[in-house]
């Protein structure tokens, strides 16, 4: 019944996508002696991974131990489950936390990624467990992955777009058709048939920039909402998998970044200030009321929903001490005018049109909480090094959510095999990274995306 | 390339399912002169529709006018959008409210459904717009639909289970394979091929009883959570449509009934007391604290989430006057021991293990709100006829959510045609009722399910 293909290529393993999940899977499959090929629809490697800040979260690491921090897999499991509103797939979440520490250590020992000597706490995590590579960019990790891929002599075909699966009579994936010399504008290329002896690993990322697809699941997220993703974060590979019977999981759970600025495109420079400084040491103010609106260290969904609910951008504020003591360099955000610096609170209030009296009252109230170690209004955790907003100059930025991450995706089992709605494995098909759904439930915690890519990328590469 | 089928039957229109959506579609297609066949996997008609209370919501009706109630399509649109957390598909919601009044009137004028002379308000609706048929059961509506189906000489094949679509070379649906003499236990039957000249209308209902399917989208909803649905509310027809490329919409939005009792199976008799009496005139108490937990007239998601968040069943309480003046007969719930009657608040508190002092304080506080017309704790709307909880005996029931309705489903356009993720119509395929996703967003308001069945059932039947 089925046509015979003239195969142009034959490999053991084809990896679709060259972000963290794809390259990790390729490396593991290559290390296991497989003949591996990576395809990438863009002209360079890295996908969205390369524009991330590179932050990776894991519990029970040597770096935590060095900094005297206690943590456990169970604690991280609970934090992620809470942020996910209990909707995380328990088997995937358990696999995630069980392997997260090893995944991080693998980037240290095997990839030789250099990390900053600090462990950070971001919203929703109860203890500091987030590690940042030198340069504060995913590119630090990516470069080392690329080096390993080259060492293993794994080719990456750029400008090569996945088109469709080719299955045998029983539905097993036996290969695929891709377009080489892919042209984005005309959406055309040279059809090439690749036979895959062991299988295909999908690591094609999320659909955050795919307005048509994402707005089917969340109609609020039309073209008026920006995204932190690159414009090629689209759904075509995911849809191809659904077409051959893969189960979709929680496609309507789409994360908005609460730390995004409406005053710059893409991810931008503002989020470092908002996420690393304001949320821990500062406050988010509704300019209409001059009041706080949320536990700034709550999970992303809480913060983004709270900002959206005001109907307009809010203002994140931190003082000079917080900026200085954080150790983060926010000069780019200041240079671009995304973060603004004010000598007095009067100037700040005036610039954003906030009633000064209300704002001062809110700040005094927050400072009181910081001093006594208890946020009576929103229950934000107050840490030992927390201080009030007292030392000028004051730093501020407007906040308005952008689509950041798509929690939904393909259903996989613990071996990273893609399964259908009845739990049956689609033979020859694996997936890892953002294209997968279920790990994060309703909302992903900060720095857990890269961990997911590496944990499940390794599993896919080892199991295929 | 495709096999030739020996068609056992040929019709213009095949309707899958004999609940409100299916029978409405069959009637409209029959009235338009089409040769229609309905298949039903069970041995009788009505699906979940027959066990509903028959309540139907619509704005701007003659019955509202008679009772001096002002309402509008826009008001209902806003109420549903608010309950849906803004996730409703705007085009479907607009179609819904635009046609809801006509749909209700069609049940009055065309079907001759007798309604009680009252207009009710349920949680999330800002004005009374819910109509209840005599007997307070969907069966009152169903019997009249069946009569019309018989008048139109439309056969219903019982014990007939949909198996799979048959498509032509272009992917258009040209028929299907069904199993006649379907046996549920062995999941087998006699394969029968039906050619459909105009198309197939899917009206197969939701997946509330399909533990495997629903827990992929919401892992909390495993077998430990009961459902108000009949056990055959499963996903097989929906999955068949996904397999041929239909887009899924918001499958993870699954509604829990906040008015359900853990002390009886299925929908039961308790919900009438909880939804019609407690939520409007009474309060929901967390037995551990003795305090209210939520705006009892908030939407279902709010109430169910609030009850679930306590970790154990809560207690709904109303007084004798509320029960008497409501006009609802709750004797069955009392006979079954689901609703209990107490001469004193002491007895009630003691039975449920609630601290009497805390409970009395909560009731006094609520009575104060009822008197002054303002709920300062939860913002519950207090209506003119609202009264406190003062007159013994007191009625109470335990509340613990059950899976009630699945908001997610197939994507359709305004003509009830099933479409794929790119918005392309799958020719020959229509859908209506709970199998469709997008009308209700994150949460469906009370009495809007039957309206949906009739609005989109009519559209499907008229357009096919």
Domain A9-208+406-463 has CATH 3.50.50.60: yes
The DSSP call for residue B317 is: E
Nearest CB among A89, A216, A219 relative to B219 is that of A89
pLDDT of residue B1: 36
Query: Phi and psi for A351 in degrees, rounded to 5?
Result: -65, -40
Q: Mutating which of B90, B164, B211, B219 best tests the A interface, going by the most A Cβ atoms within 10 A?
A: B219
Count of positions (residues) in chain B: 464
* Nearest chain A residue (CA) to B240: A245
Q: Provide the pLDDT for residue B309.
A: 83
What CA–CA distance (Å, rounded) separates A110 from A458?
12
Q: Does B190 score more than 50 pLDDT?
A: yes
Q: Report the pLDDT value the prediction gives residue B411, as an integer from 0 to 100.
A: 98
| Torsion angle of the four alpha carbons A84, A88, A90, A91, in this order, in degrees rounded to the nearest 10 | -130
Minimum-distance CB partner of A421 among B90, B213, B218: B213
Sequence-ordered list of residues with C-beta below 8 angstroms from that of B184, at least 6 positions apart, any chain:
B41, B232
- Over residues A366-391, the pLDDT tens digits come to 999 999 888 989 989 887 677 789 99
Please give the pLDDT value at position B4: 64
Q: What pLDDT score was predicted for residue A302?
A: 82
Whether the CB-CB separation of B217 and B33 falls below 8 Å is answered with no
Complete DSSP assignment for B244-293: TTPPEE-TT-EEEETT--TTSSSS-SHHHHIIIIIHHHSEEEETTTTEE-
B250 alpha carbon, distance to own chain's centre: 16
Q: Does A86 touch chain B (CB under 8 A)?
A: yes
Please state, in angstroms and as integers, the Cα–Cα distance from residue B120 to each residue in A190, A433, A435, B57, B70, following that order. Answer: 63, 49, 46, 9, 13
Q: Which tens digits make up the pLDDT trace of A68-91?
A: 999 999 999 999 999 998 899 999
A87–B252 CB contact, under 8 Å: yes
Question: Is the Cβ of B1 closer than 8 Å to some Cβ of chain A?
Answer: yes
The span from the CA of B142 to the CA of A196, in Å, is: 55
pLDDT digits (tens, 9 = 90+) for B242-292: 999 999 999 999 999 999 999 999 989 999 999 989 998 999 999 999 999
Query: Residues A405-413: what's their mean pLDDT?
Result: 98
* CA A85 – CA A68 distance, rounded (Å): 30
Q: What is the pLDDT of residue A463?
A: 97
Closest chain A residue to B88, measured at CA: A219
- A90 vs B contacts (CB less than 8 Å): 219
Note whether B377 contacts A: Cβ–Cβ < 8 A. no
Element (H, E) at B11: strand B9-16
Report pLDDT for B3. Answer: 54
**Tens of pLDDT along A1-33?**
345 678 999 999 999 999 999 999 999 999 999
Q: Does A219 reach chain B within 8 Å, measured CB to CB?
A: yes
Tokens of B22: 């299916």
Round to whole Å and give the CA distance between B408 and B252. Answer: 7
Instruction: Give the rounded distance of the alpha carbon of A418 from its chain centre.
Output: 21
B286-333 pLDDT per residue, tens: 999 999 999 998 877 888 889 988 889 999 999 999 999 988 899 999
| Cβ–Cβ below 8 Å for B252 and A247 | no
For residue B86, the chain A residues in CB contact (below 8 A) are: 219-220
Residue-wise pLDDT tens digits, A156-184: 999 999 999 999 999 999 999 999 999 98
Q: Touching check for A421 and chain B: CB below 8 Å?
A: yes
Per-residue pLDDT, A201: 98
Token pair 């961990």 is found at: A451
Q: Which residues on chain A are in Cβ contact (under 8 Å) with B239?
A: 421
Closest chain A C-alpha to B149 CA, distance in angstroms: 35
Residue A110 reports pLDDT greater than 80: yes
What is the C-alpha separation between B149 and B60, in angstroms, rounded?
A: 28
A16 in Cβ contact with A47 (< 8 Å):
no
Residue A215: C-alpha distances to residues A218, A239, A410, B457 (Å) = 5, 15, 18, 25
Q: What is the pLDDT of residue B308?
A: 84
Contact assignment for B421 to A252 by CB distance below 8 Å: no
Q: What is the pTM of this model?
A: 0.89
pLDDT, tens digit, for every residue of A319-369?
A: 999 999 988 899 999 999 999 999 999 999 999 999 999 999 999 999 999
Q: Does A98 score more than 70 pLDDT?
A: yes
A81 touches chain B (CB under 8 A): no
pLDDT tens per residue, range B213-246: 999 999 989 888 899 999 999 999 999 999 999 9
CATH superfamily of B9-208+405-463: FAD/NAD(P)-binding domain (3.50.50.60)
Q: Using the beta-carbon criterion (under 8 Å), do A248 and B248 form an inter-chain contact?
A: yes
Task: For the domain made up of A259-400, give the CATH fold.
Answer: Flavocytochrome C3; Chain A, domain 1 (3.90.700)
Average pLDDT over residues B14-23: 98
pLDDT tens digits for range A112-153: 999 999 999 987 899 999 999 999 999 999 999 999 999 999
Does residue A252 belong to the interface with chain B, where contact is any CB pair within 8 Å? yes
Percent of all residues in chain B with a pLDDT value above 70, rounded to a whole number: 98
CA distance A80 to chain B (A): 14
> Domain-by-domain residue ranges, chain A?
9-208+406-463, 259-400
The 10 Å CB-count burial string (b at 16+, else e) for B168-195 is eeebebbbbebbbebeeeeeebeebbbb
Q: What integer pLDDT is reported at residue A333 of this predicted model?
A: 97
Residues of A annotated as catalytic (active site), given as ranges? 300
* pLDDT, averaged across chain A: 95
Enter the DSSP assignment of A343: S
């Amino acid at each position: 019944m089925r046509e015979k293909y003239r195969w142009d290529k034959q490999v053991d393993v084809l990896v679709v996508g060259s972000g963290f999940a794809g390259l990790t899977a390729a490396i593991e499959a290559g290390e296991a002696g497989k003949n591996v090929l990576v395809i990438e629809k863009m002209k360079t490697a890295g996908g969205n991974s390369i524009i991330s800040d590179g932050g990776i979260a894991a519990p029970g690491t040597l770096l935590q131990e060095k900094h005297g921090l206690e943590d456990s897999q169970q604690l991280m499991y609970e934090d992620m489950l809470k942020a996910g509103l209990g909707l995380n797939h328990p088997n995937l979440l358990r696999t995630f936390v069980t392997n997260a520490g090893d995944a991080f250590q693998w980037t240290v020992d095997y990839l030789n990624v250099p990390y900053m000597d600090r462990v950070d706490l971001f919203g929703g995590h109860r203890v500091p467990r987030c590690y940042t590579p030198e340069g504060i960019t995913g590119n630090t990790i990516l470069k080392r992955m690329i080096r390993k891929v080259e060492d293993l002599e794994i080719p990456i075909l750029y400008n090569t777009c996945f088109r469709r699966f080719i299955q045998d009579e029983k539905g097993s994936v036996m290969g695929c058709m891709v377009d080489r010399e892919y042209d984005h504008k005309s959406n055309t290329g040279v059809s090439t048939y690749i036979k895959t002896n062991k299988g295909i690993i999908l690591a094609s990322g999320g659909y955050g920039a795919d307005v048509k697809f994402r707005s089917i699941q969340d109609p609020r997220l039309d073209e008026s909402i920006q995204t932190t993703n690159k414009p090629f974060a689209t759904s075509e590979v995911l849809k191809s998998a659904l077409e051959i019977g893969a189960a979709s999981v929680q496609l309507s759970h789409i994360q908005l970044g609460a730390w995004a600025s409406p005053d710059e495109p893409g991810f931008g420079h503002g989020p470092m200030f908002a996420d690393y400084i304001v949320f821990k040491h500062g406050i988010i103010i509704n300019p209409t009321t001059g009041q706080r609106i949320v536990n700034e260290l709550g999970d992303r969904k809480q913060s983004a929903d709270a900002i959206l609910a005001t109907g307009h951008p809010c203002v994140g504020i931190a003082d000079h001490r917080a900026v200085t003591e954080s150790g983060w360099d926010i000069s780019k955000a200041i240079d671009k005018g995304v973060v603004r610096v004010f000598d007095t609170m009067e100037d700040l209030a005036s610039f954003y049109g906030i009633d000064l009296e209300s704002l001062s009252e809110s700040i005094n109230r927050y400072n009181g909480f910081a001093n006594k170690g208890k946020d009576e209004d929103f229950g934000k955790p107050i840490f030992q090094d927390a201080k009030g907003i007292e030392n000028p100059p004051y730093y501020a930025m407007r906040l308005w959510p952008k689509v950041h991450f798509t929690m939904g995706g393909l259903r996989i089992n613990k071996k990273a095999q893609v399964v259908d709605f009845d739990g049956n494995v689609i033979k020859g098909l694996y997936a890892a990274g953002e294209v997968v759904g279920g790990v994060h439930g309703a909302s992903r915690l900060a720095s857990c995306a890269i961990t997911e890519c590496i944990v499940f990328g390794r599993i896919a590469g080892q199991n295929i």
